[in-house]
A and B are shown apart, each in its own frame.
Chain A
Amino acid sequence: MIPSGNILFCGVGGQGILLASEITAFALLECGLDAKKSEVHGMAQRGGSVVAHLRYGKKVYSPLIDPGQADFVVAFETMEAVRYLPFLHKDSKVIVNTHQIAPPAVATGKMVYPTDLLSQLTSRNISVFPLDGFSIAKKVGEIRTANLVLVGALSTFLPVAEDVFLEVLQKRIPRKLDENIAAFKEGRTITA
């Protein structure tokens, strides 16, 4: 049986979402799977809510994940995990960076950043894996590796051996490789 699945990456423009989804796609492709990824560029990238859909399997037609069909969600920002709730199903696994970025209405005091975000997911019996990507990234010595911590956490759920991911990291982001690998491995410990 050839595995298939749908991964939704979401967060705020500028957080490195496209790179994280790209690394994941390469790892899946290395395993001989077909994949398609849909991104949105342009206006949304200016600090807005950003989402990338990654689908893999024997043969992928639609590049979009349907509502209720995301098996995994990798949220770079806490509130964004909840924004895409209609894409989730009851067996979805959600990896959430506990980092919070105030959207304009919150930053200007017009609205309040919700405090019950993770319980919105857990109360629907969705498995949630919160992690503090930035603290971990700081710990490994490179603040910009938070996205790889998230990819690491996701990787334990995918039909891809750890070595394949490490090879992809080496090939695709050779700069600061040790830090990248350390961040990725830290991420794996959270879901393993």
Chain B
Amino acid sequence: MTKVSSKNKQWLSGNEAIARAAWEAGVTVASGYPGTPSTEILENLCTYKDVYTEWAPNEKVALEVGMGASFAGARVLVTMKHVGLNVAADPLFTASYTGVRGGIVIITADDPEMHSSQNEQDNRHYAYAAKLPMLEPSDPAEAREMLKKAFEISEEFDTPVLFRTTTRVAHVKGLVATGKRKKGPVAVAIEKMPAKFVMLPGNARMRRRSIAERMEKLAAFVETFAANRIDKGDKKIGFITGGISYLYVKEAFPKASVLKIATTWPLPFNKIRDFAAQVDEVVIVEELDPFLETHIKAAGIACTGKDKIPAMGELNPFIIKKALGQEIGDIFAPVDIPPRPPNMCPGCPHRGLFYNLAKYDVFIAGDIGCYTLGFLPPLSAMDSCVCMGASIGVAHGMDKALGDKAQGKTVAVIGDSTFMHSGITGLVNMVYNKSMSTVIILDNRITAMTGHQANPASGSTITGEPANAVDLTELCRAIGVQHVRTVNPHDFKECKKVLKEEIERPEPSVIIAQAPCVLLPEERRRPKTPLTTILDNCTGCGTCVRLGCPAINWVPLTAAEAKKMGKKEKQKGYARISVEMCNGCGQCLAVCKFKAIGKAEDNK
């Protein structure tokens, strides 16, 4: 057997390849907000030399930072997940007007199938709506090549470039060729260009014309762009596809003719028309919306697609073959087994807060983060979750709708990073418009769900350098919240007391539930004192089990088994704490009324 043939190839994920390509392309400034499946791009790029990287508080700020750096002449990468582009949409649509000095590429990492998202919107529509070019790679190797090309396109056509990945590009690993870093072509300096950068109506109307000219030039460019290529094959069906779907088509129909679209927008309509003329039938294969299909049909080219290919969820070769009537053979049917949804970790501070909050008859407006898992049983302590920051607006809106009956009925729950992202303005509104809601900020010092990225309240930067940490209490006070309380969510007595007082208060209040995420490196290193069940005392009441801690397991008992253990025959079971998993947070100790939980070391 031979060794890995090409020594300069690296085994990289799509996100790692994008970071590598940005560095090779001479990017000197990069900004973004963490969001699956985009997060690892900046996490990797920040390890390269000579690139300034940052986590912005949200995607809108990240894109604005990117525009400033581009106006100065730097090559810039801006990263976000699909829903993040909604937040950044305001600067995006006008960035289309200003254009660039240094090349700017905006990564939108979409999540078909919603592996880790609240919706599966198809961000290809943004390219059409904002009149911007969009490129889509199929795998990590292509992501690197295409990203470098995207910077050239950005500068040549004076436009931000949208670069769309999906989960199966971002989180797929493959072999990637690598190259050296080159400097961007534009000199970094302040150059005042008011007609281009100041989008007052007079200037904007002029720039609107430049967009039309640019899109015309781009439309010509994509016809000859080599990445829009034809794989010649059987002429019966000609597939038109792009992104990850291209690989699925190649796998499912290796002998077919395929037109691979790299420029999702603008589309190479002449090339498409020529291709269509060479085959008997054109089938469009694309994940989510009929984006290609709609525009290709609008251009008067006959094709089919979504009449057969699903418009929901991810595709794979199997789904495509099945949709197109191919033989797929017998598949084992799934077996009915208990589901395994994600869960908050043992020792998670959020669990303590939710356990106590669930005892109130209130509407709990939730938000985006690990704590969204508070929705799941047995805690079942979340009544809505919409988008980043929505909890506060939703709680306030419900408060206003309930009117006289609102007091003590609405609570918003939001994490520290999400509060920084887009919760602050909601809180301003709540105070300004006299809400009676309570906002609970779950402050674990970190953006936990996406894998521990620092945020403006963490006290460190993306590279771990010390930085200012926003004082949440002072911030809430400055907004005008009179009652800002800090509690330790592991301290149930205090937690209960503060929740009661603030929920009942007929004015807006903030509770900061402050305890670090247990997965932070310093928390992992902290010596643990695991707990155990003191079996003699356990009555099987099940209270600790209702915490939903992964370290606590319910062990069912038959009457005979209970009797043998010296228990009452009607005792249905007992709680067993796994010493390996227990983090010693003490939440179960706080809820046990029978002294049936103690330190493992004292109760061997």
A82 & B251 in contact (Cβ 8 Å cutoff) = no
Known: A62-B251, A64-B316. A120 touches B335 (CB 8 A): yes
- B344 at the binding interface (Cβ < 8 Å): yes
Cross-chain contact of A48 among B5, B340, B553 (Cβ < 8 A): B340
B37 CB contacts on chain A under 8 angstroms: 41-42
Which A residue's beta carbon lies closest to that of B545?
A108
A41 & B36 in contact (Cβ 8 Å cutoff) = yes
> Which of chain B's residues 309-346 have a Cβ closer than 8 Å to chain A?
316-318, 328-335, 337-345
With both chains docked as a complex, state the minimum distance between the C-beta of A121 and any C-beta of chain B, in angstroms.
Answer: 9
Cross-chain contact of A109 among B4, B329, B542 (Cβ < 8 A): B542
B556 CB contacts on chain A under 8 angstroms: 109, 112
Interface segment, A83-91, A147-155, A173-181, A182-190? A83-91
A157 CB contacts on chain B under 8 angstroms: none
- A137 at the binding interface (Cβ < 8 Å): no
Which A residue's beta carbon lies closest to that of B254?
A61
B139 & A104 in contact (Cβ 8 Å cutoff) = no
Query: A21 vs B66: C-alpha distance in the bound complex, in angstroms?
Result: 36
Cross-chain contact of A85 among B39, B171, B332 (Cβ < 8 A): B332
A67 & B318 in contact (Cβ 8 Å cutoff) = yes
With both chains docked as a complex, state the minimum distance between the C-beta of B398 and any C-beta of chain A, in angstroms.
Answer: 26
- A43 at the binding interface (Cβ < 8 Å): yes
- A191 at the binding interface (Cβ < 8 Å): no
Known: A42-B115, A68-B329. A37 touches B341 (CB 8 A): no
- A96 at the binding interface (Cβ < 8 Å): no
Give the A interface residue count (CB, 8 A): 58
B116 CB contacts on chain A under 8 angstroms: 40-44
Query: A12 vs B573: C-alpha distance in the bound complex, in angstroms?
Result: 25
Which B residue's beta carbon lies closest to that of A164?
B1
Give the B interface residue count (CB, 8 A): 65
Tell me which of B11, B338, B546, B573 has the highest count of chain A C-beta atoms within 10 A of its own C-beta: B338
- B427 at the binding interface (Cβ < 8 Å): no
B330 & A106 in contact (Cβ 8 Å cutoff) = no
- A79 at the binding interface (Cβ < 8 Å): yes
- A111 at the binding interface (Cβ < 8 Å): yes
With both chains docked as a complex, state the minimum distance between the C-beta of B452 and any C-beta of chain A, in angstroms.
Answer: 12
- B248 at the binding interface (Cβ < 8 Å): yes
A103 & B338 in contact (Cβ 8 Å cutoff) = yes
Cross-chain contact of B345 among A25, A43, A47 (Cβ < 8 A): A47
B168 & A64 in contact (Cβ 8 Å cutoff) = yes
- B479 at the binding interface (Cβ < 8 Å): no
Cross-chain contact of B377 among A45, A60, A108 (Cβ < 8 A): A108
A46 & B373 in contact (Cβ 8 Å cutoff) = yes
B331 CB contacts on chain A under 8 angstroms: 67-68, 86
B483 CB contacts on chain A under 8 angstroms: none
- B451 at the binding interface (Cβ < 8 Å): yes
> Which of chain B's residues 39-61 have a Cβ closer than 8 Å to chain A?
39-40
> Which of chain A's residues 86-118 have a Cβ closer than 8 Å to chain B?
86, 88, 102-114, 117
Known: A36-B139, A111-B338. A124 touches B332 (CB 8 A): yes
The interface bits of chain B over 1-12 (1 if a CB of A lies within 8 angstroms of the residue's CB, else 0) are 111110000010
The interface bits of chain A over 9-39 (1 if a CB of B lies within 8 angstroms of the residue's CB, else 0) are 0001100000000000110011110111111
Which B residue's beta carbon lies closest to that of A36?
B174
- B227 at the binding interface (Cβ < 8 Å): no
- A80 at the binding interface (Cβ < 8 Å): yes
- B552 at the binding interface (Cβ < 8 Å): yes
Known: A43-B115, A62-B251. A104 touches B332 (CB 8 A): no
With both chains docked as a complex, state the minimum distance between the C-beta of B88 and any C-beta of chain A, in angstroms.
Answer: 20
A25 & B11 in contact (Cβ 8 Å cutoff) = yes
B173 & A46 in contact (Cβ 8 Å cutoff) = no
Query: A29 vs B342: C-alpha distance in the bound complex, in angstroms?
Result: 32
With both chains docked as a complex, state the minimum distance between the C-beta of B143 and any C-beta of chain A, in angstroms.
Answer: 13
A35 & B546 in contact (Cβ 8 Å cutoff) = no
B174 & A48 in contact (Cβ 8 Å cutoff) = no
User: Can you sample 8 A-B contacts with CB below 8 Å?
Assistant: A25-B173, A38-B173, A39-B172, A40-B116, A45-B342, A62-B251, A68-B330, A103-B339
Q: Which 9 A-B pairs have the closest CB atoms?
A: A42-B116, A42-B36, A48-B342, A109-B554, A46-B342, A32-B2, A62-B251, A66-B318, A103-B340
